[in-house]
Amino acid sequence: MLPNYELKCVKCGYFMEADPWNILCSKCGGLLEPVIVKKPLGVSWPLFRARKFSVWRYKELLPKVRSPVTMGEGGTPLIRLGDDLWLKFEGVNPTGSFKDRGMTVAISLARERGAKNVICASTGNTAASMAAYASRAGLRSFVVLPRGKVARGKLAQAILHGAVIIEVDGPFDVALDAVMMAAGREIGLYPLNSFNPWRLEGQKTLAYEIADELGVPDWIVLPIGNAGNISAIWKGFTELKNFGLINRLPKLAGIQAAGAAPIAKAFKDGRDMPYFTDQPETLATAIRIGRPVNWPKAFKALRESRGVTEVVTDEEISEAHRSLGRMGIGVEPASAASFAGYLKLKGAEIGDDEKVVLIATGHALKDPDAIPHVETVRVSGAEEVASALRRMIL
């Protein structure tokens, strides 16, 4: 049992024991939220700042584990893009995405609690991250992927780290149904998708790091797929406020691709649940999700923060991808959605003098096929290279 935690169902309010194997409400099947029962003694910014900038800097506010499975995740750079604009570059995590923050926590718990096998459905990044952390932890990993729709770098990582790969026909959502059906304590198969609230406990450190380094911005702009990250970030900020470590909260702007916008479209329309779709489509395959499982948490986060959502087309994503690239920042298309959404919101919902942090969730190398081909300069010898350069420069 985890000290200082209890689990509360966000749907029916039922309380469960804070056990890593308790993942969904045993009464109604709803999502659970780990609640820190009381502020741990001695928690303060100076205490945290005496440690390396990383997920485990904030260990008093995370589930207690004896020996974390860690590769130095978190501590990612906040890159300044403009006077009041920053980008938190999650692409530099050990496996190249923000998922590592959650895996270090949830895989550590799974191993301590006797799991021998772990599983996830994935559009790619969760699979890459889980496979890496599982192999460090000595666990066997199974990944369920939407066939033909996982970016090349991510699939390569899952293979490199030794996962058993199962491909399904249909989108991510079908793969997730399979995991929810198959996982469980009876067969010692631990699920690591974001319906597992212990993984999101790790991801909430994104909020902690932003508050730690910059203070509280006016806006956090991020892509929404399965809606775990937006839920985790909101939990992080609200905890800091409850514990007196910050005195205000940011607003959240959740961005989705036009062909996969069940939450963004519904929230814009003032609805209280998503427009689910069975045929999500976007070139940003990371967020090609039609039935986001964390939608109740995400709607709550958007409402409580007085946030907004925005829908961006694949063309707008590509354009944002390219322009970030020309600023030296290589992200994958889903992460470029943050920037594309920001550009649409700025001057309207986002005021010109407001402080904004964009979350860039994954690295450009994840999805090399999303980077367009260009004509290269073809020459045969050193001599010709030199004269070609003279022609181009002079």
Contacts with ligand AN7, residue ranges (CB under 6 A) = 97, 122-126, 194, 223-229, 286-287, 332, 334-335, 361-362
Cβ contact 63:109 at 8 Å: yes
Tell me whether residue 118 or residue 224 sits nearer to ligand AN7 (CB atom): 224
Report, in Å, the least distance between residue 391 CB and ligand AN7: 40
Report, in Å, the least distance between residue 256 CB and ligand AN7. Answer: 9
Distance in Å, CB of 37 to ligand AN7, minimum:
26
* Closest CB 309 distance from ligand AN7, rounded Å: 12
Give the nearest distance from C-beta 108 to ligand AN7 in angstroms: 19
DSSP 347-389: TTTB-TT--EEEEE-BBGGG-GGGSPP------SSHHHHHHHH
The beta strands (E) that lie in 83-196 are given as: 85-89, 117-121, 140-146, 164-168, 189-191
By C-beta, is 245 or 285 nearer to ligand AN7? 285
* Least Å from the CB of residue 390 to ligand AN7: 42
Is 206 or 245 the residue whose CB approaches ligand AN7 more closely? 206
Q: Which is nearer to ligand AN7, 245 or 359 (CB)?
A: 359
165 to each of 144, 159, 174, 259, how far by Cα in Å?
6, 8, 15, 26
SS3 17: coil
Q: How far apart are CA 168 and CA 104, in angstroms?
A: 27
Q: Which two tokens stand for residue 25?
A: 């409400």
Q: Nearest distance from residue 145's CB to ligand AN7, in Å?
A: 9
Q: How far apart are CA 339 and CA 86, in angstroms?
A: 11
User: Given the complex with ligand AN7, which of 7 and 287 has the nearer CB atom?
Assistant: 287
Quote the CA–CA distance of 271 and 299 in Å, as a whole number.
Answer: 10
Q: Could you tell me the strand order of the sheet in which 32-36 lies?
A: 15-16, 5-9, 32-36
Q: Which is nearer to ligand AN7, 94 or 225 (CB)?
A: 225
Residue 240 or residue 298: which is nearer to ligand AN7 going by CB?
A: 298
Phi, psi of 326 (to 5 degrees): -75, -10
